Amino acid sequence: MTQLDISERQEGGILVLSVAGPINSYTFSEFQEKLDRATAKGSVVIEMEKVTTLSSAGIGVIMAALDDAETGGKGLSILRPSEIARLAFESTGFIERFPVISSLKDLA
* Site for other proteins, rule CB under 8 A: 1-2, 22, 24-26, 32, 53-57, 59-61, 63-64, 83-84, 87-88, 90-93
Q: Based on CB atoms, which residue is closest to other proteins, 6 or 88?
A: 88
Question: Cβ 24 to other proteins, closest distance in Å?
Answer: 5
Question: Cβ 15 to other proteins, closest distance in Å?
Answer: 21
CA–CA separation, 9 and 68 (whole Å): 21
Q: Based on CB atoms, which residue is closest to other proteins, 14 or 55?
A: 55
> Torsion angle, CA of 90/91/94/97, rounded to 10 degrees?
-40
Dihedral-angle region of residue 12 (phi above 0 means left; psi in -120 to 50 means alpha; beta otherwise): left
CA dihedral for 55, 61, 65, 71, sign (positive or negative): positive
Question: Cβ 9 to other proteins, closest distance in Å?
Answer: 26
Helix (H) or strand (E) holding 10: strand 5-11
Q: Based on CB atoms, which residue is closest to other proteins, 5 or 106?
A: 5
